[in-house]
Amino acid sequence: VPAIARYLAKDAIRGWLFTAQVTSRPLPYVLTRLDYTPASNDEVGKVFIELKANAKAALATAAIRISARDIVGKTVSEIFAAKGFLKETPRLIAAYDETVERYFDWRARYGAQFSGKGTGFYAEDPNASHRNTDWSRKDVVVLSSGGSSARLVNDEGILTARALTMDAPGDILGPYLRKAAKSNHYEAEDEVQASQAAMPKDLFTQLPVHAYILMFHLELHHYLWVHVDDITPYRYQPELKRKLVLPEEQTDLIDILTAEMDVLMDDIVAGKSGGTTVLCAGPAGVGKTLTAEVYSEIIQRPLYRVHSGQLGLNVAAMETALKDVLTRAQRWGAVMLIDEADVYIKRRDDNITMNAVVGVFLRVLEYFNGLLFLTTNRVDDIDEAIVSRCIAMIKFYPPDSDARRKIWSVMTEQFELAVDAALIEELVELFPAATGRDIKGLAKLVAKFCAQKKMPPSAAVFKRCSIFRGMDIGPPNRH
């Protein structure tokens, strides 16, 4: 115990130990207790070290136990290294200070969107009425399996019971000395007292923070603790609007909603608005979802996209899930998008169950004060009550030849395909029934095909690859 106390006090800065594991970043802990349990008939003598930190909104405790066999032939630093800990260094402390400054700044940005790469730790939904008992679930979650970054929203605002402790008593040898005063099994009492007297008073008094922020993963749809070193504030791209090939009506709507956004947001915050719902109807792949995505980039708010399949059809479960989702979107000031909402907005008929689903959907929408986009493939089968609730209903159509020409130009440029104007004209004629999604998918496939075969793109290559996309060649009525 005296040797460890001297080692910790020598050149000490704050009295911290950092975790030293190959698989994770160094995390600091403050020493709160250095104690010794003498040998007994059943147990060998052990040195006990208690460590504490403020981590993930709670007080985290770790312990190191050192027995006689851990000590043989080792220095104190080697003993700690074998247990997975390093003594603080000026470099580690400087890196911690820089990280924690960012942590307190970013943690306070409730509802802000971040980009993340790396891993996070699964977190329970703080608002859930019961714990998730999925034991097969892995605690460590990879944020993004592809090359792109994950989209995360800071939801720290819902944590009600946060541990705010930032101080420690600093009396790490007190328990040892109190026990030594009452027992004759402690031989180093005087040495330990001398160590305690020599220790600076402010050592071991500052509780470090582990810089994990509670985030909601917008693709995985659950909560994670993510370290600030794995995230950056999301960079919105309002310039996307110029790249998009949408009919004039859609771009007009985006302009109107953008111009009115301040008024809408003020109303939403004040609870005056009954919410703003925009219904986008049309076939697949024509830009319905894209309109909501572009709008969220322009107004620089997160896009919270939920597929209707996630909400289910059981009326009670759907009502709860929908309320949770809409409350979350409202809390963040996010643009809410319910994709393929056909089943919730279908015209009511003799089917009692489906009528109940539509009725519940309408009732829950009444309490929503945010901005909601609904997409549907059924243009002519929408309930009148839903239509009357929408500020706008836009019908989307497959792109005409001019729009296809623009989309081919944008997509071939995006995927770095060297095509001339003549080939673009040929593609417009070859695939008259192609939607924006078809064109994007085919351009991506051709780019991969040409890169692998080391050949330039041509009409023949596009034709060949279109087979794998199930696309029709020639006029729609030609077989």
How, if at all, do strands 150-154 and 212-217 pair? antiparallel
Q: What is the CATH number of domain 240-395?
A: 3.40.50.300
pLDDT score, position 253: 76
Helices (H) and strands (E) in the chain, counts: 19, 18
Domain ranges in the chain with CATH number 2.30.30: 101-162+210-233
pLDDT at 225 over 80: yes
What is the Cα–Cα distance from 273 to 371, expressed in whole angstroms?
A: 10
Q: What is the DSSP string of 215-251?
A: EEETTTTEEEEEEGGGEEE----TTHHHH----HHHH
Residues 6+ apart with CB under 8 A from 345: 279, 358, 361, 374, 376, 382, 383, 386
Domain ranges in the chain with CATH number 1.10.8: 401-469
* Burial of 147 per CB tally in 10 Å (0-12, 13-18, 19+): exposed
**Of the given ranges (5-19, 136-150, 442-456), which has the lowest mean pLDDT?**
136-150
Q: Which CATH architecture has domain 101-162+210-233?
A: Roll (2.30)
pLDDT score, position 478: 41
Q: What is the pLDDT of residues 262-302, one digit of tens each?
A: 666 565 555 555 678 899 998 988 888 888 898 899 889 99
Residue 332 sits at φ, ψ, to 5 deg, of: -85, -15
What is the Cα–Cα distance from 207 to 168, expressed in whole angstroms?
A: 6
Q: What is the pTM of this model?
A: 0.86
Q: What is the CATH number of domain 401-469?
A: 1.10.8
What is the Cα–Cα distance from 358 to 346, expressed in whole angstroms?
A: 7
Q: Which two tokens stand for residue 48?
A: 């006990």
Residues 6+ apart with CB under 8 A from 165: 54, 59, 207
pLDDT score, position 477: 45
| Whether 51 contacts 17, CB under 8 Å | yes
Give the total residue count for the chain. Answer: 479
pLDDT score, position 129: 66
Strand partners, 122: 224
What is the Cα–Cα distance from 25 to 93, expressed in whole angstroms?
A: 13
Domain ranges in the chain with CATH number 3.40.50.300: 240-395
pLDDT score, position 479: 38
pLDDT score, position 229: 94
Residue type, 63: A
